[in-house]
């Protein structure tokens, strides 16, 4: 076997990006299309889905699916609808996420449930729902969007950290369980990027601290995540599974 640059291509693959209607998910969806994949997106907001579908060139078969990934039954319906329209999914990206930046003593049960259901429960059941078919076919790649919060704790983000540590555990456990069945499961841990999720919720002093702590002294631009997602979804990473790739501008390298 010799190195082939074409291994980075996603041509001929069908990729689903859950949470693909905004932020990191939108960027990965556009990047996967540029890499040659047939790209499908799923999310809760029809208006946002339609806007990204237009960017993806969605004038042919349906490519945007409205679904609440927090419900296992909804994920089953999503898989059935996609397979009826496009056939099986080759690459799954779990990019759904939410947070609440507030002291743990002030976090309500409803807020805790919303974070864990969106960030962890939905990832597990999306992996198992689409991973089932991948295991049966003997091939597939899953890319979960984790966080630096899966590596260390953050004040005022206890539930978010718990959810992302859970994503790291799911990623490694499923990689160990499904590796011999031809299915790779990896994660990306983004550093600090400005997204719709954190633009208004992240205090200005924390943004300044993020820039100061990064080895590159800046926050990331969303397109800078795409290369990692394409790599992990492609044959170039055929022997990579159970890994979490940090795309953080050297933030964690600078110490805790």
Q: Which one of the listed residues 32, 65, 160, 251 is annotated catalytic?
A: 160
Helix (H, G, I), strand (E, B) or coil at 83: helix
- For every residue of 222-254, DSSP letters joined together read GGGGHHHHHHHHSGGGTT--S-EEEESTTTGGG
Distance of alpha carbon 218 from alpha carbon 159, whole angstroms: 26
CA 73 remoteness from chain centre: 20
Specify whether 112 is catalytic: no
Residue linked to tokens 């969007």: 145
Helix (H, G, I), strand (E, B) or coil at 82: helix
Q: How far is CA 111 from CA 76, 115, 159, in A?
A: 25, 6, 9
CA 74 remoteness from chain centre: 18
Evaluate whether 186 touches 245 at the Cβ level (below 8 Å): yes
Helix (H, G, I), strand (E, B) or coil at 39: strand
Q: Tell me which residues are annotated as active site.
A: 160
């Amino acid at each position: 076997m010799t190195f082939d640059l074409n291994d980075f291509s996603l041509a001929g693959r069908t990729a689903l990006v859950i949470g693909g209607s905004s932020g990191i998910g939108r960027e990965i969806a556009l990047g996967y299309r540029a890499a040659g994949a047939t790209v499908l997106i799923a999310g809760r907001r029809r208006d946002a889905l339609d806007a990204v579908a237009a960017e993806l060139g969605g004038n042919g078969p349906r490519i945007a699916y409205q679904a609440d990934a927090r419900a296992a039954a909804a994920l089953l319906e999503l898989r059935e609808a996609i397979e009826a329209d496009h056939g099986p999914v080759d690459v799954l990206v779990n990019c759904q996420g939410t947070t609440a930046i507030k002291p743990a003593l002030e976090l309500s049960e409803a807020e805790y449930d919303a974070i864990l259901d969106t960030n962890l429960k939905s990832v597990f059941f999306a992996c198992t729902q689409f991973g089932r078919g991948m295991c049966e076919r003997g091939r597939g790649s899953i890319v979960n969007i984790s966080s630096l919060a899966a590596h260390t704790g953050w004040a005022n983000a206890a539930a978010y950290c718990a959810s992302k540590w859970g994503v790291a555990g799911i990623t490694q456990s499923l990689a160990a369980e499904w590796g011999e069945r031809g299915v790779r499961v990896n994660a990306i841990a983004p550093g600090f990027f400005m997204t719709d999720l954190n633009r208004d919720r992240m205090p200005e002093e924390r943004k300044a601290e993020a820039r100061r702590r990064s080895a590159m002294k800046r926050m990331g631009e969303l397109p800078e995540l795409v290369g990692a997602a394409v790599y992990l979804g492609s044959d170039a990473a055929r022997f990579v599974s159970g890994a979490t790739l940090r795309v953080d501008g050297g933030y964690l390298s600078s110490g805790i």
